[in-house]
Amino acid sequence: MSLNTYKDVAHTNGYEFTQGGGYELPSYPFVPPPEIGGKTPAKHPIVIVGGGITGLTLACSLARLGVKAILLDEDDTVGVKGASSRGICYTQKSLEIFERLGVYEHIAAKGTQWSVGRTFAGDDEVYSFDLRQQGSFNLSQQPPFINIQQFYIEAFLVDRIRQLGHVELRWRNRLTGFEQNERTATLTVETPAGDYRIEAEHVIDATGSNSPLRKWLNVPFDSKRGDDRWCIADVRFSTRPPTERHTWIEAPFNENRAVWQHLMADDVWRIDYQMAPNADPAHVSREDVVRERLARQFGAGVEVEIVWVGPYAYRSECVHSMRSGRVYFMGDSAKVVSPFGARGGNTGVADADNLAWKLAAVQRGQAAPALLDSYEDERLEAARENVRVTNRTARFLRPADGIERVYRDAAIALAKRHPFARALVNTGRMAVANPYTRSRICQYTPGSAAGQSVQNVEFRWANGRTGRMNQLLDWAGGDLLLLCFGALSAAALRRLREVLATTPLRALQVPAGRESAQADEHVRDPKGHLRGACGLPAGDEPAWALVRPDGYLAASGDTIDGRLVQAIGLTLGLTGVHA
């Protein structure tokens, strides 16, 4: 393959007409890489390109698992200099991942928790919801959502990576060229101290929506650019609005166009104003115009500090494949979605969490290289679903004249009077952990919850203290985790010992009720939350659940027999035969 060069696809972040003082971002020192001046490219097993939330999540995940890698970032900071706080809304699944990585406590202390959302049309509240009262959100040790500026999470991840070691962060290292063949990938990197070349077994593209790698490799993708534009304002107020997610489908103070209102860290509010189709972005984003609009919303006497303001236009994109040779696409380099429902950055975090344990297992020699093919099975399905869901929301908020507008008007009118119609009002289907329904490494059997995320629920350690699912994943140390519920027969114990002696598996028993434990390594599940999180029916019947390092259920069954052995082989990419 011919060498591709950076100048062909120069980066751009697309932020224009920005106003306000912006945010103070940390800066990291440039350290000349040891490869500068070398005659032959140094070899690295894993190179991550891009130090945004996706790349840093992957780097931190690998560091936690003790896997060596380097990360290249063209800047010397987190976030975007002179631009917005970018992503702000982080889901329960992302927060569970961040707890495993050791940064959740910082996020919880800095950010703002919320679970209540209210939706308005004109002066009427159409409906409201409390996520803690829905489904099983309240069973996890993490809240449904925390709002926090993205750069804070990125900075916490940088600190954690430095603490863990194993992964080298290279700031002001810009990828300027790339080529690959069947044996290796070669990257050319530009730095203030000179250029250098490195070879990599695996290259992860986390460079975002303007990915140079995606363009160099001519990766096919579907793209749709909408005509909907918004003005995003990050502001502080002299008075404090409710800590809730407020959305207006038709806001009287914004010429009956949509508005979003979220609280973030530092008492900064994110207000998104939908523009008129023919609006001038430069005019709409002027500070005086923003202040007038805020006064209409919050009252003429409100005191406002403008932190940042700028316009934004949304588009949707999705690659046809999550991999091209030795390059894996993740985050916005794989898909771009409108922000409705918080399905952008959160899915990038999930991409990273998905690939990290697979790379680690292959690097350790515990899994077959074929395991890496499952990354596309699972995360391409998630990408397509998130694009589909957010595109529907975008059409509801900016309906075309004709049947789309008739449908929206009817849905709003019905929702004001009838609870059944509230589900028709689409201001963003909030992100959840994407299920994997077609993965080659999940053992799908009738009644199994294989491919579903296992929540970070509580249990009791043998000494009676409270534990949580993430602690069991930490105990497994990157190996598969087998939970054996109920009594174990002599034959089951014998088979289990045989399996443990030959596979990268950690197992523990969850005795039923007050029954005595048959294994030294055991925990208690008095509320049945652990069993329920694994998709097993309530009760005391013997069962097992095989949980992956990313907290997804790989398989489940009722007897420790050949089906378990087959499930382990399937999950590690050692066999391609589904049960």
Q: What is the pLDDT of residues 344-379, one digit of tens each?
A: 889 999 999 999 999 999 999 999 999 999 999 999
Looking at residue 85, its pLDDT comes to 57
DSSP classification of residue 252: G
Burial of 220 (0-12, 13-18, 19+ CB in 10 A): exposed
Q: What tokens appear for 9 in the block?
A: 């696809």
CB atoms inside a 10 Å sphere around CB 136: 12
Smallest CA-to-CA distance from 290 within 18, 78, 43, 60 is with 18
CB atoms inside a 10 Å sphere around CB 487: 15
- Determine the Cα–Cα distance for residues 205 and 178; give it in Å rounded to an integer: 12
Looking at residue 458, its pLDDT comes to 96
pLDDT digits (tens, 9 = 90+) for 141-195: 999 889 998 899 999 999 999 999 999 999 999 999 999 998 999 999 999 999 9
Looking at residue 329, its pLDDT comes to 97
Positive or negative CA dihedral for 498, 499, 503, 506? negative
To the nearest whole percent, how much of the chain has pLDDT over 70?
A: 94
| Per-residue burial over 22-32, b = 16 or more CB atoms within 10 Å of its CB, e = otherwise | bbebeebeeee
**Region 74-82 average pLDDT:** 80
Q: What tokens appear for 136 in the block?
A: 């099983």
CB atoms inside a 10 Å sphere around CB 190: 16
**Region 214-228 average pLDDT:** 84
Looking at residue 22, its pLDDT comes to 59
**DSSP secondary structure letters along 58-115:** HHHHHHHTT--EEEEESSSBSS-TTS-----EEEHHHHHHHHHHT-HHHHHHHSEEE-
Smallest CA-to-CA distance from 485 within 441, 535, 436, 548 is with 535
Asked if residue 504 lies in contact with residue 479, where contact means CB atoms within 8 angstroms, the answer is yes
Looking at residue 20, its pLDDT comes to 46
Choose the weakest-confidence range: 59-63, 424-428, 488-492: 424-428
For 43-112+144-223+316-389, CATH gives 3.50.50.60
Query: What value, to the nearest 5°, has the Cα angle with vertex 188 and ends 185 and 189?
Result: 130
174-183, 333-342, 389-398: range with highest mean pLDDT: 174-183
pLDDT digits (tens, 9 = 90+) for 264-308: 888 888 898 988 888 888 888 888 899 999 999 888 888 888 888
215's CB contacts (< 8 A; 6+ apart) are: 8, 9
Q: What tokens appear for 497 in the block?
A: 């010992």
Give start-end residues of each CATH 3.50.50.60 domain in the chain.
43-112+144-223+316-389
Bridge partners of residue 89, in order along the sequence = 147
> Dihedral, CA atoms, 116, 121, 124, 129, nearest 10 degrees?
-20
Looking at residue 281, its pLDDT comes to 85
Assigned CATH topology for domain 452-572: Glutaredoxin (3.40.30)
To the nearest whole percent, how much of the chain has pLDDT over 90?
A: 56
Looking at residue 16, its pLDDT comes to 36
Burial of 558 (0-12, 13-18, 19+ CB in 10 A): middle
3-class SS at 533?
Answer: helix
> Dihedral, CA atoms, 383, 353, 211, 154, nearest 10 degrees?
120
- Determine the Cα–Cα distance for residues 178 and 2; give it in Å rounded to an integer: 9
Looking at residue 135, its pLDDT comes to 67
**Region 318-327 average pLDDT:** 95
Which has more confidence, 253 or 579? Answer: 253
**Region 375-399 average pLDDT:** 88
Burial of 184 (0-12, 13-18, 19+ CB in 10 A): middle
* pLDDT band at residue 106 using 50, 70 and 90 as cut-offs: very high
Please say if the pLDDT value at position 43 is more than 90: yes
Give start-end residues of each CATH 3.40.30.10 domain in the chain.
452-572
Q: What tokens appear for 398 in the block?
A: 């900016």
* pLDDT band at residue 429 using 50, 70 and 90 as cut-offs: confident
Looking at residue 393, its pLDDT comes to 82
Mean pLDDT of the chain: 88
Looking at residue 8, its pLDDT comes to 33
